[in-house]
Structure 1
Amino acid sequence: MHRVFVVVLPLSLILLVFGWICGLISSLSESFQLLLLTGSFFWLGGAMTLSGISVYISYSQAAFSEIVQMYDQQHFQQVHISFGWSMALAWLSFTSEVTCGCLFFLSAQMLRNQPSRHSVVI
């Protein structure tokens, strides 16, 4: 499990950076395909963030259980594991990535429905 979240969370960040770069290029060029690709980058990054955080929480719980079994239970009576602010930031990151992806999909749809600027009306 350790290898999974060590790979998935940085991959999520890489997808986020590529999404912003692709988003800037696709917004400037007004390309339908690039806007769809950008939305996909953000949705995939959001999925990676959510799965990485889920694996990390499972890994932390399993590691704590293993440590408790190895040592005396009394040493860990006062230990409580919580993910308060980090979980809030993870959910904020996930929702912002998915929202950005939806906005890029919406802008691609609006661009697709827009009449072409290059068409000549006679």
Structure 2
Amino acid sequence: MEQDKAVHWIRNLCAYAGESKDFAEAFYEKLKQNKEVYEEFVYFMENGNFACRANVKGYTVVDVMVWQMDHFKARLDQDNSKTRQNGDRMVLLAFNTFLNLVKEPDQYIRKMQAETGTDYPEKY
């Protein structure tokens, strides 16, 4: 039952986020491969909040979401990323990127630490 509910919710989330059915199916297949992230997703689905139990070297899906928001701040300001007014898309992309982080932690952690999208005096 939970699986059927998750599939239905993913399809709706992808539709609200402007993603295709193919994206939804690929996302679900990727999500099923990691029990911990799947449980985090189901928790979000049921509660509308993050449990932050799933982590990779201390990073959670919330960290990914914050990084993406910060990193793509210029695009959000210009409103050309389809994300500015679409919280569903932000959540979906955060979970999708978190699944990538699980598979390639060093690559994504390096990006998260280097590509902050924020300008500050010591950055360069």
Higher relative contact order (CA 8 A, sep 6+): 1
Q: Same fold (TM over 0.5)?
A: no
Higher alpha-carbon Rg: 1
TM-score, normalised on structure 1?
Answer: 0.27
Q: TM-score, normalised by structure 2?
A: 0.27
